[in-house]
Amino acid sequence: MNLDSAFLKGLTGEVVTPLNPVYNSARQEWNRAINKFPLVIVYCESKQDVINAVLWAQKHKVSIRIRSGGHHYEGYSTGNFVLVIDISRLNALKLDKSRNILQMEAGAKNTEVYDLIGSNGYVFPGGTCPTVGVSGFTLGGGWGYSSRLYGLGCDNLLELELVNYQGRLIKANRYHNSDLFWACRGAGGGNFGVVVSMTFQLPEPAAVRVTLVRFSYAVTTKEKQAKVMDIWQNWLPGLDKRLTLSVSFYNEEEEGLGIFGSGFFYGSAEEARQLLQPFAAVKGFQADLQESSFLEAVKKVEAAYPPFEKFKSTGRFAGRSYSPVELNHIAQLVQNPADGSVYAAVTFYALGGEIASVGKREKAFYYRDARYIFGIQSVWTEDAFAEENRKWVRERFEYIKSITEGSYVNFPISNLKNYEREYFGANAERLNRVNGKYDPFFVFRFPQSLR
Ligand SMILES: Cc1cc2nc3c(=O)[nH]c(=O)nc-3n(C[C@H](O)[C@H](O)[C@H](O)COP(=O)(O)OP(=O)(O)OC[C@H]3O[C@@H](n4cnc5c(N)ncnc54)[C@H](O)[C@@H]3O)c2cc1C
């Protein structure tokens, strides 16, 4: 294909093709194990740039991928020979303090929102990784350390604006295109159109300080991991909703086996210590509880993230208690990491609280009554070990799938049969209908799009 200016005519914003020196960095996703070669990447700086890109792609019969923060686990925000519509520069933020409302252009990242919101005394129910795109996060539901108290990211969304397949800007909220609004709260990523802005209702600014909760265990064994999993599953139902946390059971290249819990408690360190008491029953428990402002706590969490990684990871919904035999099997999953793995883990992300107060059919995010998200991951550094590590996750995923009830679309996996049903449960049929209405020619298509 001839990538000359006549061919690219109509595209506006910064246009990057394989002939451009920045192409190699521009095509990269946060997951560096994704290695795709788009035909064109366009960095949109205005809504009009997005409109032009959507129209251009159809004129030239080039498939579209939408990219905000570029954190999709399987790399579905890019592809070979596609047009990547990158909205990361469309990231202006506006805070309306009189109504506690945040207006956000859809390319903003978690850290950008936290900085503005936090420095104005607000909290924001975003994700843990600083560079995840808030729109990508929210369109798939959006779990973070404030979720049990304030709901998922999508539960705080009031309205969005989207560029549809005709290049028209349409609004969706409770009153206007309410079916699209319903669908975009859990199943909007990559489907329906390019979301260019979002409006969030923020929780009342809270005077209360946040306790950053972190805990670990000295000298971890497989038996200890299984025991702590058991404490977790008995402890979580009925837990004070001001506490949201995740716990990882891992096997790290240098350190070996470990357990690490972290999250936010909207209350004092002393109260948090009380709540964590059951975990102290297992020997070697060490808690680090730091009270601070919301923003300071967020900054400490952000600091733990590397600028990128090579990984395979996915997550399912756990809805029941596991027997001792099952817990032993779950702990076994991380005992023998793949060759070249630097970090292998299963991680439990607490649900419940406000997340469960919404009905399963009220929004596209379906698994409201699950107890926690059950994640698995493997991280490597040398490309030679990529396939080995992917296989390691895929094999263990089969067992996890057999004891869980659905997949979290923000923690996706490519080899998933009936993926609509797995991601969206009984909401899948309605979602496909809504998709047929708003994107009748499947212009916004990717390997796991609605059909
Ligand atoms: C290190 C790391 C940490 C994470 N932590 C969390 C977490 O704490 N909680 C959680 O819930 N998830 C988490 N995730 C998952 C993350 O929320 C999802 O991968 C999310 O989809 C990423 O959004 P993005 O914009 O960064 O990624 P992208 O790759 O740009 O987009 C992800 C998907 O959403 C679509 N999309 C993005 N923006 C738009 C838009 N504006 N309009 C239409 N479609 C769009 C893309 O086409 C793609 O299909 C994490 C992921 C990583 C890699």
pLDDT (tens digit, 9 = 90+) per residue, 181-217?
Answer: 999 999 999 999 999 999 999 998 866 689 999 999 9
pLDDT (tens digit, 9 = 90+) per residue, 232-244?
Answer: 999 999 999 999 9
Strand partners of residue 250? 258, 345
Domain at 210-402, CATH from 3.30.300.20, 3.40.462.20, 3.40.50.1580, 3.40.50.300: 3.40.462.20
The whole-model pTM stands at 0.97
pLDDT of residue 2: 76
- Cα(223) to centroid of ligand 1, in Å? 34
- Cα(138) to centroid of ligand 1, in Å? 8
Give the contacts of 2 (CB within 8 A, at least 6 positions apart): none
If you compute the radius of gyration of the chain from its CA atoms, what whole number of angstroms results?
22
pLDDT of residue 122: 95
> How does the average pLDDT of the chain come out, rounded?
97
pLDDT at 422 over 90: yes
Mean pLDDT of all residues in 403-408: 98
Class of the CATH domain delimited by 12-86: alpha beta
Mutate to test the pocket of ligand 1, among 32, 43, 65, 68 (most ligand atoms within 8 A of CB): 68
Mean pLDDT of all residues in 367-377: 98
pLDDT at 332 over 70: yes
pLDDT of residue 4: 87
pLDDT at 248 over 90: yes
Within a 13 Å sphere around the CA of 123, how many CA atoms are in the beta-carbon half? Answer: 27
pLDDT at 371 over 90: yes
**Which band of pLDDT confidence, cut at 50, 70 and 90, is reported for residue 423?**
very high
Mean pLDDT of all residues in 319-330: 98
pLDDT (tens digit, 9 = 90+) per residue, 293-307?
Answer: 999 999 999 999 999
257, 233 contact by CB (below 8 A): no
Residue nearest to atom 3 of ligand 1 (CA): 129
pLDDT of residue 154: 98
User: Which residue shows structure tokens 């925000």?
Assistant: 77
For residue 153 and ligand 1, the question of a CB distance below 6 A is answered with no
Atom of ligand 1 nearest to the CA of 65: 47
Q: Which of 259, 260, 268 is nearest to 289 (CA)?
A: 268
E runs forming strands in 266-371: 285-292, 310-318, 341-350
Residue nearest to atom 37 of ligand 1 (CA): 136
**Which band of pLDDT confidence, cut at 50, 70 and 90, is reported for residue 361?**
very high
Residue nearest to atom 2 of ligand 1 (CA): 129
For residue 143 and ligand 1, the question of a CB distance below 6 A is answered with yes
For residue 165 and ligand 1, the question of a CB distance below 6 A is answered with no
**Which band of pLDDT confidence, cut at 50, 70 and 90, is reported for residue 3?**
confident
pLDDT of residue 205: 84
Within a 13 Å sphere around the CA of 43, how many CA atoms are in the beta-carbon half? Answer: 12
pLDDT of residue 1: 65
10, 156 contact by CB (below 8 A): no
Residue nearest to atom 23 of ligand 1 (CA): 136
317 sits in which H/E element: strand 310-318
Percent of the chain with pLDDT over 70: 99
Mean pLDDT of all residues in 41-62: 98
pLDDT (tens digit, 9 = 90+) per residue, 118-162?
Answer: 999 999 999 999 999 999 999 999 999 999 999 999 999 999 999
pLDDT of residue 209: 86
pLDDT of residue 179: 98
Residue nearest to atom 4 of ligand 1 (CA): 129
- Say if strands 14-16 and 40-43 run parallel, antiparallel, or are unpaired: antiparallel
Q: Hey, where are the domains in the chain?
A: 12-86, 93-205+428-438, 210-402
pLDDT of residue 29: 98
Mean pLDDT of all residues in 319-332: 98
Q: Which CATH code fits 93-205+428-438? A: 3.30.465.10
